[in-house]
Structure 1
Amino acid sequence: MVDVTVFGTVEQDQGGCNCGCGHAHSMRDAAEVLEKELTEKFGDMVRFRFVDAFSEEVMDFPDVVKVMNQFRFPLTLLNGEPRFHGGLSLEKISDAVAELLGAIGGFRP
């Protein structure tokens, strides 16, 4: 199983979320689309969580709080490790999840 955690903001983003869809929406909205796509592709081999970076919930991740200012939102962690920031690329994140699952013998395309 791969844990995918996205840290972002919940406000409407007038500049878009850098997810490539061309629509202005919140990072939470973009994360929900990502979650749906990853779940369709990998099923229960992926556990997904969105965390509002400006909520109390972020305090559950003290290691992330320490380094958050070094990254642009949205910040995506795979199994607790920062892997992507500044956008949500389904292709890149999906490839990385598949690679991690392949390394543990859990996914065969």
Structure 2
Amino acid sequence: MSENKDTILVEILQGTQAVTGGCNCSGGCPSAASCGTTSNYEDMTMEMASELKKAYGDKVEVKYVDVDKEGLDNYPIMNRVLQMGYPYPITLINGDPKFAGGIMISEVKQSIADLFKDELAN
């Protein structure tokens, strides 16, 4: 979670595993064209961070996590997500898994917009 509870935290978790199902770049996800190779997921995360910063300023924080280096201790829900066969990268928004198999900037932006709408409605 973000240290500032008024900030939405977007985390891109990347690691190694066999792809066994879920959304992948063969056309299974809504924006398969925005999927990338493992080597450029960190760059794509930075690109997404830049776009989200332009759209939302400091209200959104983006973090890239290499789980092969950092582990999954801080992400207990990921065990279930991975057991279900969803491929990396996994996008979490405020700790909730939202997307798998690619960096989906437009879908993340829509999810964030929905969160802000919900916040204004309450």
TM (normalized to structure 2)? 0.68
Partner of 1:90: 105
Cα deviation, residue 23, structure 1: 8.1
Partner of 2:14: 8
Question: Bigger CA drift: 80-89 or 55-64?
Answer: 55-64
- Superposed, which structure 2 residues align to 1:28-43 within 5 Å? 28-43=42-57
Moved over 4 A (4+): 21-25
Stretches of structure 1 that go unaligned for 5 or more consecutive residues are none
- The code of the aligned residue for 1:34 comes to M
- Hey, what's the Cα distance between the residues in 2 that align with 1:21 and 1:87? 4
Residue 115 of structure 2: which of 97, 100, 107 is its match?
100
Compare relative contact order (CA 8 Å, sep 6+) and give the higher one, 1 or 2. Answer: 2
CA RMSD, aligned part only? Answer: 2.7
SS at match of 1:55: helix
SS at match of 1:88: coil
Stretches of structure 2 that go unaligned for 5 or more consecutive residues are 1-6, 17-24, 26-31
Work out whether residues 35 and 104 of structure 2, in 8 Å CA contact, stay in contact via their aligned partners in 1. Answer: no
Residues 1:37 and 1:9: Cα distance change in structure 2 (over 3 Å): farther
- Superposed, which structure 2 residues align to 1:66-77 within 5 Å? 66-70=80-84, 71-77=86-92
Residues 1:68 and 1:22: Cα distance change in structure 2 (over 3 Å): closer
Cα deviation, residue 26, structure 1: 1.8
Aligned residues: 100
- The code of the aligned residue for 2:68 comes to F
Work out whether residues 52 and 58 of structure 1, in 8 Å CA contact, stay in contact via their aligned partners in 2. Answer: no
TM (normalized to structure 1)? 0.75
Work out whether residues 92 and 99 of structure 2, in 8 Å CA contact, stay in contact via their aligned partners in 1. Answer: yes
2:69 is the counterpart of 1:55: yes
